[in-house]
């Protein structure tokens, strides 16, 4: 088999997927016959302008044919006929965002390979990077796997491990994982094309799942431990953002991950969670359910810009003994 140019298709949508596609294009060992992405989305709910996703932008820039079907399932026969014209060796899927019908993922000679951002069978589903942080994992990684009908349940061809620091956030961990993927990803695809990778089945009894992230994932329950809320902020603080309520108003809150949380004395532990425990110039400490208070440094009332802790304290007359939630 001539592997000078490995003929593949690429299925993906967001920025992180576009960065890996760019790596494959720069490598020179791959011929990207076509790309499949999510349909263009409106810039806003009211606006008429629609925007292509990051992968589509990159494909257009490199004159690669792009398909953005609204429904794969309804249009499988027509799409399959169109895709088969390209005669790719296998499909590569990385953060495409839709389930792919069996007739399509089994069509190429070497079928379909998926890049999933967790150590499968842990964290199958749509948001493995965020949920690794939410659950406090100290390591995560990539799983390169076959696609099957059951979500993220296919045999695994390759995994690598990535350490997760205690102050890691979604953006920093995504950057770290992308750097890792760029370094090994192209070689893994070359080995797969050459038949040099062995697969192993996943242990179904160890499988865990994570769903799509909704705005409600950022709602703070201050009765939880400070570690749980801290991990929630690491996972969702950048998007969709953590929020609580003060005097009936929705307030987004940013916490300081570097400063130490305040530990209450035995007498102080009688205070209820959500209480403003201590106000300093740059930090406002809010009490959690385990007797620790987390330092909040930025506040954003709904419909307004972010403001510093001192500006929020002065503008909203926040005082020690007040409550969030």
CA distance 55 to 99: 17
44 with 184, same domain? Answer: yes
Q: Write down which residue in 210, 231, 249 finishes a domain.
A: 210
Separation in Å, CA 228 to CA 8, 147, 194, 222, 236? 42, 33, 45, 9, 12
Domain that holds residue 72: 6-210
220 with 96, same domain? Answer: no
- Establish if 320 belongs to a structural domain: no
72 with 152, same domain? Answer: yes
- Establish if 321 belongs to a structural domain: no
* Residues 196 and 169: beta-carbon distance below 8 Å: no
> Taking the model in full, what pTM does it have?
0.93
Q: What confidence tens digit (pLDDT) does each residue in 54-82 have?
A: 999 999 999 999 999 999 999 999 999 99
pLDDT computed for residue 44 by the predictor: 57
250 with 170, same domain? Answer: no
Q: Write down which residue in 210, 237, 257 finishes a domain.
A: 210
CATH code of the domain containing 66:
3.40.50.170
- Establish if 322 belongs to a structural domain: no
**Ranges of residues in the chain whose predicted pLDDT is under 70:** 1-3, 43-48, 267, 269
Q: Write down which residue in 162, 184, 210 finishes a domain.
A: 210
């Amino acid at each position: 088999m001539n592997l000078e140019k490995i003929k593949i298709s690429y299925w993906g949508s967001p920025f992180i997927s576009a960065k890996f596609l760019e790596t494959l294009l720069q490598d020179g060992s791959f011929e990207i016959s076509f790309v499949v992405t999510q349909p263009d989305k409106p810039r806003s709910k009211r606006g008429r302008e629609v925007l292509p996703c990051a992968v589509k932008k990159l494909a257009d820039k490199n004159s690669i044919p792009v398909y953005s079907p609204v429904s794969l399932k309804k249009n499988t026969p027509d799409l399959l006929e169109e895709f088969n014209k390209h005669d790719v060796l296998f499909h590569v899927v990385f953060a495409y965002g839709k389930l792919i019908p069996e007739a399509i993922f089994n069509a190429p000679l070497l079928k379909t390979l998926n890049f999933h951002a967790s150590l499968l069978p842990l964290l199958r589903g749509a948001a493995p990077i965020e949920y690794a942080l939410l659950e406090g994992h100290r390591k995560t990684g990539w799983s390169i796997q076959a696609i099957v009908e059951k979500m993220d349940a296919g045999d695994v061809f390759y995994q690598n491990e990535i350490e997760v620091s205690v102050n890691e956030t979604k953006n920093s961990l995504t950057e770290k994982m992308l750097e890792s993927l760029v370094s090994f990803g192209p070689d893994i695809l070359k080995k797969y094309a050459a038949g040099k990778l062995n697969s192993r089945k996943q242990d179904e009894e160890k499988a865990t799942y994570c769903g799509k992230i909704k705005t409600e994932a950022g709602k703070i329950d201050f009765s939880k431990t400070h570690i749980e809320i801290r991990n929630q902020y690491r996972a969702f603080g950048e998007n969709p953002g953590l929020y609580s309520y003060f005097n009936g108003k929705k307030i987004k809150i940013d916490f300081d991950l570097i400063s130490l949380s305040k530990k209450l004395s035995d007498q102080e532990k009688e205070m209820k969670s959500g209480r403003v425990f201590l106000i300093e110039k740059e930090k406002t400490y809010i009490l959690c359910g385990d007797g620790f208070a987390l330092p909040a440094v930025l506040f954003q009332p709904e419909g307004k810009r972010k403001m510093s802790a001192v500006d929020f304290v002065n503008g909203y007359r926040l005082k020690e003994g007040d409550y969030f939630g």
